């Protein structure tokens, strides 16, 4: 069966890259023997493929030992026990939790201040203060003042407020 130029060129890539099955080679070669235009085209493709193959990229000398050391370091982190990895992961978001806890405490404080009723007793306040950490007051400097306000209550009109209490 004789091939058209189009059919021959469709198989040209397989021919020049060495993947054309032997039984499919004969009709392509027969076409090339009779068609100078296709022959030139295929020869150019073949030369291009050969040129590209000669210029295969290679890693710079000494690269692989450094690569393996770096990969080992990264894999060592992957190999840590799940518990350690979980603790590390939580450590990374610790500041976010502190901020969230501070905001929650502030909201609770404001609610306590705004709610109707008598001011809290000292034991109530002590229980809340235990929950307020230094990190919370750093993240939310007005937290102490909010607790003071809670203690004093908004219902006392003539209170002079100072940081740390009256």
Number of Cβ within a 10 Å radius of residue 46 = 16
6 lies in the binding site for another protein (CB under 8 A): no
> Does residue 78 bind another protein (CB under 8 A)?
yes
Decide: is 130 part of the binding site for another protein (CB under 8 A).
no
Q: Is residue 133 within the footprint of another protein (CB under 8 A)? A: no
**Those residues with Cβ within 8 angstroms of residue 12's Cβ, 6 or more apart along the chain or in another chain:** 28, 38, 41, 42, 45
Contact 119, 137 (CB under 8 A): no
- By CB under 8 A, tell whether 65 contacts another protein: no
Is residue 31 within 8 Å of 5, Cβ to Cβ?
yes
64 binds another protein (CB under 8 A): yes
Which spans of this chain sit near another protein (rule: CB under 8 A)? 9-10, 12-14, 16-17, 19, 44-45, 47-49, 51-61, 63-64, 67-68, 70-71, 74-75, 78-79
């Amino acid at each position: 069966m004789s091939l058209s130029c189009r059919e021959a060129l469709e198989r040209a890539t397989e021919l020049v890259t060495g993947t054309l099955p032997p039984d499919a080679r004969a009709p392509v070669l027969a076409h090339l023997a009779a068609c100078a235009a296709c022959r030139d085209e295929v020869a150019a493709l073949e030369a291009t493929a050969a040129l590209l193959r000669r210029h295969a990229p290679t890693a710079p000398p000494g690269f692989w030992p450094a690569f393996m050391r770096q990969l080992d370091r990264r894999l060592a982190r992957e190999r840590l026990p799940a518990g350690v990895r979980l603790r590390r992961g939580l450590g990374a978001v610790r500041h976010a939790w502190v901020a969230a806890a501070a905001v929650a405490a502030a909201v609770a404080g404001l609610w306590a201040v705004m709610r109707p009723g008598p001011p809290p007793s000292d034991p109530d306040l002590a229980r809340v203060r235990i929950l307020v950490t230094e990190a919370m007051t750093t993240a939310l400097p007005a937290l102490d003042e909010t607790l003071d306000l809670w203690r004093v209550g908004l219902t006392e009109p003539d209170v002079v407020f100072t940081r740390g209490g009256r």
